[in-house]
Amino acid sequence: DTEVTQTPKHLVMGMTNKKSLKCEQHMGHRAMYWYKQKAKKPPELMFVYSYEKLSINESVPSRFSPECPNSSLLNLHLHALQPEDSALYLCASSRGNAGEFQETQYFGPGTRLLVL
């Protein structure tokens, strides 16, 4: 089973709202990732968690706040977003310690976010 689930599928929010995206995997993976993807562009890495600790933050604005409560769950908290933050947000996971070797990343279906 290589399933990564993401909720919600779609989200519309105003610039003053606070919302959260959720990602879950039950494959026993210990590395989890958040990506942002604009239409017809490749995914851009935002954050990497390895063994529930934040290991990479790609200089993402503080209005995006990641959280990894346990090894199966990854959240992305959103606050005071801008219209240019509208995009597809993809979660991925991989088996091992992301710092040691390049594991295959398995992606979720994404959350399509629209900021008005």
Cα separation of 97 and 100, whole Å? 6
* Smallest separation, CB 88 to other proteins (Å): 6
- The answer to whether residue 23 forms part of the interface with other proteins (CB under 8 A) is no
Given a contact cutoff of 8 angstroms between Cβ atoms, the answer to whether 86 and 76 are in contact is: no
Q: Which is nearer to other proteins, 16 or 39 (CB)?
A: 39
Cα separation of 107 and 105, whole Å? 6
Q: Rounding to the nearest 10 degrees, give the CA dihedral for residues 4, 5, 10, 11.
A: -100
- The answer to whether residue 61 forms part of the interface with other proteins (CB under 8 A) is no
Q: Which is nearer to other proteins, 11 or 48 (CB)?
A: 48
Q: Which is nearer to other proteins, 80 or 103 (CB)?
A: 103
The number of C-alpha atoms within 13 Å of 49 and in the hemisphere containing its C-beta is 24
Residues in contact with other proteins by CB under 8 A are 31, 33, 40-43, 45, 48, 50, 55-56, 88, 90, 92, 94, 98-110, 112
